Homo-oligomer: A and B are copies of this chain.
Amino acid sequence: MLPWSADLAGRLDHHVIDSHALRGNPLGDPHERPLWVYVPPGYDDDVARRYPTVYVIQGYTGHIGMWANRTAFRRPFPELADEVFATDDVPPAIVVYVDAWTAYGGSQFLNSPGTGQYHTYLCDEVVTWVDAHYRTIPTRDMRAITGKSSGGYGSMVTAMLRPEVFGALATHAGDALFETCYLPDFPSKARTLRDLYGRSYDAFLADFRSRTPLTRPDDELLIETYGYAAAYSADDDGTVRLPFDTNGALVPEVWERWLAWDPVRMARQNRYADALRSMRAIWIDAGNRDEFHLDLGATAFHQAVLDAGAPKERVHFELFDAGHGLIEYRYPLALGWLCRQLAS
């Protein structure tokens, strides 16, 4: 009964995974995490058949429950993904929806003393669990990772960090080229901290936690940036270092720590260039009006991928006419392409 709900041709299982890596995480976030696993039509009919797996991760402030959100005139991605396998000539795959929410709104899918061991959780725990519980083809050549925004970021860096786990990736408007996607907003954040919080991030955080969140100006931008810093530049003791000071001036030693995690810069390092060259499929796209300039990041990452020696036939690059929001209709395009590439 559209638009209120839909039956799937495949099946979406809801699990909870108990993560060892996330136990005792510094933010006190749960170590038991929801995990959704989708099996394509026919999975239950041919019990000997094994499938490639596509891991799907989310953008900042996303948690797994939001995959069920419905918006006007649109359908949720799990339904679009189901349709890819139900109606298109696409080789079937298992699709895994992974949650990496934190109290700051996200983890960037990295291990950090500021947030927790989300990289280990994703690559070592979730993948192992899925391979143990579903009929996957448990090889890196048959695993892809995809996401949008911070999820696109996570796809890029996770594939570079762990090419033995993932052999393909897709990034939609993924965070990249940090001087274009993050840095331009630092001045207005510094100003908001000055005008509303006595130049103190701690004062903001205390206030944010004390009231209905997202009701004051720049709430979202301020919490996000803090979360990025917690992921990119937290000290071993968990202290979060910010890349700009109370005047908005860059703090070079912290900013360098951020840049070390920029996919565009990582891709220029031999280790990660090797990983990219080994990928069986790399999809890169972004809207040409992206409010965070992630079209520039996508273009720069694409160039770095080609410079790393990735064969052109395994790389899809596209700028499309859109901003950052409301682009979930792009996800099934990459999903179908990834599945075809994995099967080829």
Contact = CB atoms under 8 A, between A and B. Distances in A.
A195 interface: yes
Interface in A248-283: 248-250, 264
B213 A74 contact: yes
A288 to B, nearest CB: 7
Nearest to A6: B65
Given A4-B99, A249-B264, A296 B74 contact: no
Interface string A55-73: 0000001111110111111
A4 B64 contact: yes
Contact of A177 (B212, B249, B329): B249
Q: Which bracket fits the contact residues of A?
A: 35 or more
A318 to B, nearest CB: 15
B72 A61 contact: yes
A27 interface: no
Contacts of A3: 63, 65, 101
Q: How many copies does the complex hold?
A: 4
Nearest to A220: B72
B32 A1 contact: yes
A183 interface: yes
A30 B62 CA distance: 32
Contacts of A68: 68-70
Interface in A68-105: 68-74, 99, 101, 105
A69 B72 CA distance: 12
A326 B329 CA distance: 24
B62 A72 contact: yes
Contacts of A223: 73
A101 B72 CA distance: 9
Given A179-B186, A179-B248, 9 more contacts: A63-B72, A66-B70, A68-B68, A177-B248, A179-B183, A180-B248, A247-B300, A247-B303, A248-B293
Interface of A: 1, 3-5, 16, 30, 32, 34, 61-66, 68-74, 99, 101, 105, 177, 179-180, 183-188, 190-191, 195, 212-215, 223, 247-250, 264, 288, 293, 295-296, 299-300, 303, 321-322, 326, 329
